Structure 1
């Protein structure tokens, strides 16, 4: 059964926490929500202690009033299970449900997500409150979606207590067919006398005197993701049994710092994929992170998705929390829509007076409606209403970037040839020149269907299983264009090194062989020569590479590997396979990727000046071209004849003019 969110047009709103305010404020909230064009709010996310003041005793009087009030004002509710923040009485009754860190310290309650994901007592209590909510509100007309939990794994992605250890062993027995010999083989436990003779000997990778077994750590990451997923599906099933047609979601955190969950495994379990995204104050071009995160979330959803949380201004959890510049609130929100968001929501509706997030911005800030933020919030509501017809349209891309959480986890384990490698940094380095060129990008698993793509990029795929390696090899051998970054294909799914030289699984398809890596020190460049820009350099990595069918495009010009190939290309019929054995500087990497994509026949969505972002969504009868000026200079961008600019309501043909720092959304006739 397909379950969809029954809210007209683009959903707009945020987390609504009226329990923080006296009841007389609620009527003012409704008036302001109508003024801003809000049509969806998430309620009850952190209200467990108020809904269930003692075990099995419920007080729904406040929530009854809130939901009725929302319905009376034409505002839909995304009703949450409040299970991310168990109340104090629960931990007094079940202290064994508190989580333990890697050093064995039991953490106290007093914040949020202070529970062990494997705790039977927590699971029982979470399902009980979910069931009580479902039984009471399944048929309430305001409830249009279930919001299960909140940001799974944000603070308790791993618990190292004995309860978790027992759950880990159960997970391992299922994974390895209850065959301890298979586990010993997969983990390579003959090394350092780590052989296990009894399942009870297997523990989480707790703090120890030296480096923990890498496959042990990798399986632990897989287990932790699956354990939290089992909590989500258990709550979702309780809700679904009571309200079979109401969609359920939980908010992902597809952003720069969070890597705890394998969202490829999670996404199919959600009726609607939703995501939280916050900017980092240290990022000089956060618009690129918005685009990357949005493209990855759209790829997880295989279509439109919902932005569940972002900020109107400053967040509260960075060393320095910067406010947004004039116009940025609007640009950021519409950039998410450009990348497939069918809903825009903020944390939170009204800025808190007290608590750990009192300095986190909101739609109604401390300053109230006499503020720039409120003016921007109202304007954005009008913009989203004007974009109602965009809902349901999809992104289009001829380029795919391979993304795999297993590979990310494995690459960043200790005892690598270089501890300077960061998976997302490498992906962003390759993504950024595509963004600057206006090239549309999807993200895919290594084993995905690649037949619709002209170009597939794997900036780093340190870990890849046989199916994924064969799929990428077949794609290139069949005439596709493939580009692979250094230290890829090195290990299998058990972190076992592939023998006979690097880049392991991709040696033959790339036509190269390396016998030894030469990682570079931080800040140590190596000069490049060949078909690259003048002054080209590489960083992070080099390796002693020899050609085995490929041609050298660029070579190291100095250092111990002077004259050795650094960038190679092997023709495969109408396609080719490229290997980048270093990280070129941004100008050089952009030039190389331009050459690769032009060779593959990939063109930008639309020609635009530098710093002007262009993205396209495709609807059943028209295309929607989003043009966003990040330069503050304004621009003109070509559009099809007979086009219509939705935000101004004006016809436009030939070109669309975007004012400095502004956004245009153009409906173009199909076929252009």
Structure 2
């Protein structure tokens, strides 16, 4: 089966390059200049129409296509393709005024107002009718337009309105619950409603988990997050179905948010996209934000099932929504872009083409800044366009990853509900810490859902799997019994899919796999830590582990400094079938975690992409006999990496190594390997 993204990049002539284009913000005499500059910069794809609903339908049922007609024709004449967006993320003011109950309501009962974006209840039938009518009219008008090569459904689903608590949402929630559980007896059982006398005798008694006197029912809260994500997914599927019916053969995408969006299950949305696209923005205050960039790129690839994907949005420089919006330093935008390319992106796009002069995002950077073409940013934008054109042969190749890291939105939701043993043990923190350890080791990993096929991987890491379904737990058992190496983080396997504790001893789902029982979870107070046998100190969390066949790889120190689990195992190893299960019963500090994952990867046979020095990122993409090594130097000194082949940008033959200047990126087309070299890689 042909990959839709590969078909798209072949049509574009290489890597997709461009960004969001919002011509409605500018007078018509600017549009020809935009197109001329796009050609100068090497732009071949722009997203059009994301927030244009009020322009396209200025009054109910009255459409004005003049702007889009002109702009799409201009772009097509210039050879620039269009990713045409359904503008449903921004209902017009007339719609909200005519349908006030379509506006979302927060958990305290306050009705939010129009004046931003995504000001709608995901379950509103009025919104659904209006959005479907808009999508249908748009598709009828432009399905056959030669500029349109892809449909962009909505924009950043659930970024601002994922959780609505209005009565319309309440009724939809009750319907969702009936479909899921069939009977009230079943629902009462899985939610544990006999606690605090919450047992329901009629479906009509169930409301959204609004603000109340004390802790809300965690099973109800967890299901409300599932329902809310599903409600948005239903809208995504409805718009997609209309587009597929009216424009068959044109691929469909939407811009997902990776770890930037907790409330929407990205894996679920990705399964309903022909091409997986993501937005990613650096957090300026994070000195390790390049590691977070790599993590999100690997998550995008995991959501795409290992196939190439699109970077739909990132920034040329500063954003507008952080407390301090620091611009990128010279060369950083190039480094960011080529890192995404290294990790599987076949398209590098920005928000946005021309920097706004008004509105909430006027201080968000763009490809054409306020200062125009005399700026440093414009010089970097045009240089990057030329480089991406020279790297086009990389399109369609896949990243080679030997390790999987499990990332699950329901596990994230469940761990961070109220009334857990510690609010300081957080899903994303654990995932990032484990990922950074792999990054430091130079090990490439795929971030995948727990129900992904694990058989291709030499090792599987689950930093935070507090909630796990029976099927996913059994899949990990099967993987290890078959010879795999799995490492599970603290507090894993504790509850089932409904946040009910798995009784019989912790970690309920994984006792046999790990050969142990956790007698008690022992979270630490702020400022406390437990001394480990390697001399490091574990903050936040410890567990009292009883070995039932496992051996201790690392222990809590004897004596008071070892904390409440003093003398007991902190990291364990257990043979299960033909494989090995490891358990981490603490929030390990960086050095200990890196040592552990290095030992596990070494035992499993997972190796770095290259013998690169610390701070130099090395990732390999390949297909058939073609192999490309990307080297990204995040240090302030030149680095040397052994590799045979030639540099892709200038064609220079290499004498067995390549020098990577400080802050630079080098792409090497590697010399073909012998059979022995390939077997030993």
Same fold (TM over 0.5): yes
* RMSD (CA atoms): 1.2
Please give the secondary structure, in 2, of the residue aligned with 1:158: coil
Please give the secondary structure, in 1, of the residue aligned with 2:502: coil
* Counterpart residue number, 2:658: 656
Post-superposition offset of 1:574: 4.9
* Counterpart residue number, 2:71: 66
Post-superposition offset of 1:478: 2.2
Task: Return the alpha-carbon distance in structure 2 between the equivalents of residues 386 and 657 of structure 1.
Answer: 20
Structure 2 gaps, min length 5: none
* Counterpart residue number, 1:293: 296
* Counterpart residue number, 1:45: 50
Task: Return the alpha-carbon distance in structure 2 between the equivalents of residues 564 and 241 of structure 1.
Answer: 61
- What aligned pairs does 1:263-412 form with structure 2 within 5 A after superposition? 263-302=266-305, 303-412=307-416
Selected match of 1:518 from 518, 522, 530: 522
CA deviation map 1:572-619 (0-9, x unaligned): 365321111001111111111111111111111111011000011112
Task: Return the alpha-carbon distance in structure 2 between the equivalents of residues 157 and 473 of structure 1.
Answer: 34
Q: Please say if 1:186 is aligned against 2:190.
A: yes
* Counterpart residue number, 2:623: 619
* Counterpart residue number, 1:18: 23
- What aligned pairs does 1:45-194 form with structure 2 within 5 A after superposition? 45-177=50-182, 179-194=183-198
* Counterpart residue number, 2:541: 541
8 Å contact kept, 1:400–1:455: yes
8 Å contact kept, 2:441–2:594: no
* Counterpart residue number, 2:488: 484
**Runs in 1 of length 4+ with deviation above 3 angstroms?**
1-4, 669-672
Selected match of 1:668 from 670, 675, 679: 670
Task: Return the alpha-carbon distance in structure 1 between the equivalents of residues 538 and 235 of structure 2.
Answer: 45
Task: Return the alpha-carbon distance in structure 2 between the equivalents of residues 574 and 192 of structure 1.
Answer: 46
8 Å contact kept, 2:495–2:508: yes
Please give the secondary structure, in 2, of the residue aligned with 1:560: helix
8 Å contact kept, 2:318–2:326: yes
* Counterpart residue number, 2:447: 443
- What TM-score do you get using the length of structure 2 for normalisation? 0.96
Task: Return the alpha-carbon distance in structure 2 between the equivalents of residues 447 and 348 of structure 1.
Answer: 35
Task: Return the alpha-carbon distance in structure 2 between the equivalents of residues 55 and 493 of structure 1.
Answer: 44
Q: Please say if 1:262 is aligned against 2:254.
A: no
CA deviation map 1:173-220 (0-9, x unaligned): 11112x111111111101111111111111111011111111101100
Task: Return the alpha-carbon distance in structure 2 between the equivalents of residues 601 and 249 of structure 1.
Answer: 36
Task: Return the alpha-carbon distance in structure 2 between the equivalents of residues 160 and 227 of structure 1.
Answer: 13
Post-superposition offset of 1:25: 0.9
CA deviation map 1:448-474 (0-9, x unaligned): 222111111111110011111111112
Structure 1 gaps, min length 5: none
Task: Return the alpha-carbon distance in structure 2 between the equivalents of residues 644 and 71 of structure 1.
Answer: 36
CA deviation map 1:94-117 (0-9, x unaligned): 111111001010000011000011
Selected match of 1:594 from 580, 592, 598: 598
8 Å contact kept, 2:488–2:583: yes
* Counterpart residue number, 2:256: 252
Please give the secondary structure, in 2, of the residue aligned with 1:319: coil
Post-superposition offset of 1:653: 4.2
CA deviation map 1:410-442 (0-9, x unaligned): 001110000111111101111111111111101
* Counterpart residue number, 1:458: 462
Q: Please say if 1:198 is aligned against 2:210.
A: no
Post-superposition offset of 1:550: 0.6
* Counterpart residue number, 2:35: 30
- What TM-score do you get using the length of structure 1 for normalisation? 0.97
The 1:582–1:43 alpha-carbon spacing in structure 2 relative to 1, beyond 3 Å, is same
8 Å contact kept, 1:482–1:576: yes
* Counterpart residue number, 1:552: 552
Post-superposition offset of 1:282: 1.6
Please give the secondary structure, in 2, of the residue aligned with 1:53: coil
Task: Return the alpha-carbon distance in structure 2 between the equivalents of residues 625 and 523 of structure 1.
Answer: 43
Task: Return the alpha-carbon distance in structure 2 between the equivalents of residues 582 and 377 of structure 1.
Answer: 45
Task: Return the alpha-carbon distance in structure 1 between the equivalents of residues 397 and 460 of structure 2.
Answer: 24
Please give the secondary structure, in 1, of the residue aligned with 2:61: coil
CA deviation map 1:240-293 (0-9, x unaligned): 1111011111100013x4211112211111010000000111211111011100
Q: Please say if 1:415 is aligned against 2:423.
A: no
Task: Return the alpha-carbon distance in structure 2 between the equivalents of residues 416 and 136 of structure 1.
Answer: 52
Please give the secondary structure, in 2, of the residue aligned with 1:595: helix
Task: Return the alpha-carbon distance in structure 2 between the equivalents of residues 670 and 169 of structure 1.
Answer: 60
CA deviation map 1:538-566 (0-9, x unaligned): 12111111111111122111223221111
8 Å contact kept, 2:532–2:556: yes
Task: Return the alpha-carbon distance in structure 1 between the equivalents of residues 471 and 332 of structure 2.
Answer: 43
8 Å contact kept, 1:575–1:600: no
